[in-house]
Amino acid sequence: MSNGRSEAPRNKTEDDITTEVLERFSDTPDPRLRQIMLSLIGHLHAFVKEVQLTEAEWFKAIEILTEAGKMCSDRRQEFILFSDTLGVSMVVDLLSHRKPERATESTVFGPFHRLGAPDMPAGGNIAHTDEGTPALVSGRVLDLAGKPIAGALLDVWQAQPNGLYDSQDQHPEDLNMRGKFHSDRDGHYLLRTTVPVHYPIPSDGPVGAMLKATGRHPWRPAHIHFVVSAEGYEPVTTHIFDRRDPYLNSDAVFAVKDSLICDFTRHDGGAEGQRYGIGGPYFAAEFDFRLAPAAGGAVDVEDAQRRLAALGARA
């Protein structure tokens, strides 16, 4: 039957098939979808031909994807973990958040953000635990000219001292190591927490199997997550990393940027710690966030927060 296309001889060489598939998608009405589909097919077919994929390998790939799908729930997103550990999330992040020179760089959102973190006063302690070493994290929220931004929202979350996020632990319904802080009139913020620890990403599924089979480890260097937002500025989703961490050069999800590494300095105690309820030694880190002006006018901060949270599939 004629469909207006050339009636070339059918199913022939592998290159004929690629040509025919590309032709079949070439009338996709939406130009962006057409661009994406044609490029995807071109790369996918080229990959299969380049590695001379066998039927057994193709079937294995289908099994892996099926297993990944079965693992996904509101508490686990195996496909995002694949994207993270293949470096795709960081490439998309870089393409999507090209920042002006002095703005704080972004990094992966990760799957462990939760809505509903409590509002906390300056110096509030996000760690409901006796484990771990106390830490004070402080700094300022500034614009690109170095002017303080008052009333910026800092949504903070962190793995517990045992290396698990609250949602992975025995009582996943309890919130721990999470809080929302605001910068003061001079742009200052201050929070109490524990020194972050390195921890392995979930590796009991197909992503873990891939890491093992390829000789990679699942560890993420110690970090604290932040989403910093303020009216009229681009929000930034980022982490701060502890400079002493042994995994800075081999983060399982490729999320470390030099500008996000900071020093956690030991203090033997003293008045500053005591003011925030710390009796003994503690560590202090300072980090300033610099926000770029919103590209298209004022940002709806609440909406940005909701969309970011929805990506993490946490309620």
**Interface contacts to ligand BEZ, rule CB under 6 A:** 81, 84, 108, 110-112, 201, 220, 253
Distance CA 254, CA 110 (A): 12
Q: Is 53 helix (H, G, I), strand (E, B) or coil?
A: coil
Residue 136 interacts with which of ligand BEZ, Fe ion, none, CB < 5 to 8 Å by class:
none
Distance CA 210, CA 267 (A): 42
Q: How far is the CB of 218 from ligand BEZ (least distance, A)?
A: 9
Residue 253 interacts with which of Fe ion, ligand BEZ, none, CB < 5 to 8 Å by class:
ligand BEZ
Residue nearer to ligand BEZ on the CB measure, 192 or 220:
220
How do 188-194 and 134-143 pair as beta strands?
antiparallel
Residue 166 interacts with which of Fe ion, ligand BEZ, none, CB < 5 to 8 Å by class:
none
Residue 84 interacts with which of ligand BEZ, Fe ion, none, CB < 5 to 8 Å by class:
ligand BEZ
Q: How far is the CB of 125 from Fe ion (least distance, A)?
A: 19
Residue nearer to ligand BEZ on the CB measure, 109 or 181:
109
Distance CA 118, CA 202 (A): 26
Distance CA 271, CA 8 (A): 83
Residue nearer to ligand BEZ on the CB measure, 110 or 273:
110
Sign of CA dihedral 103, 105, 111, 117: negative
Neighbours of 64 (CB within 10 A): 17
Residue nearer to ligand BEZ on the CB measure, 76 or 99:
76
Q: Are 68 and 206 in contact (CB under 8 A)?
A: yes
Residue 299 interacts with which of Fe ion, ligand BEZ, none, CB < 5 to 8 Å by class:
none
Kindly identify the residues of this chain, within the stretch 87-126, that bind Fe ion according to CB under 5 A.
110
Residue nearer to ligand BEZ on the CB measure, 256 or 299:
256
Residue nearer to ligand BEZ on the CB measure, 80 or 278:
80
Rg (CA), the chain: 24
DSSP 92-159: HHHHH----TTSPPP----S---TTPPB--TT-B----S-S-EEEEEEEEEETTS-B-TT-EEEEE--
Residue 157 interacts with which of ligand BEZ, Fe ion, none, CB < 5 to 8 Å by class:
none
Q: Are 172 and 166 in contact (CB under 8 A)?
A: yes
Q: How far is the CB of 225 from Fe ion (least distance, A)?
A: 6
Q: How far is the CB of 239 from Fe ion (least distance, A)?
A: 7
Residue 267 β-bridge partners: 282
Give the CB-nearest residue to ligand BEZ: 110
Residue nearer to ligand BEZ on the CB measure, 112 or 287:
112
Q: How far is the CB of 73 from ligand BEZ (least distance, A)?
A: 15
Q: How far is the CB of 18 from ligand BEZ (least distance, A)?
A: 34
Distance CA 37, CA 28 (A): 9
- Residues lying near Fe ion in the complex (CB under 5 A) are found at 110
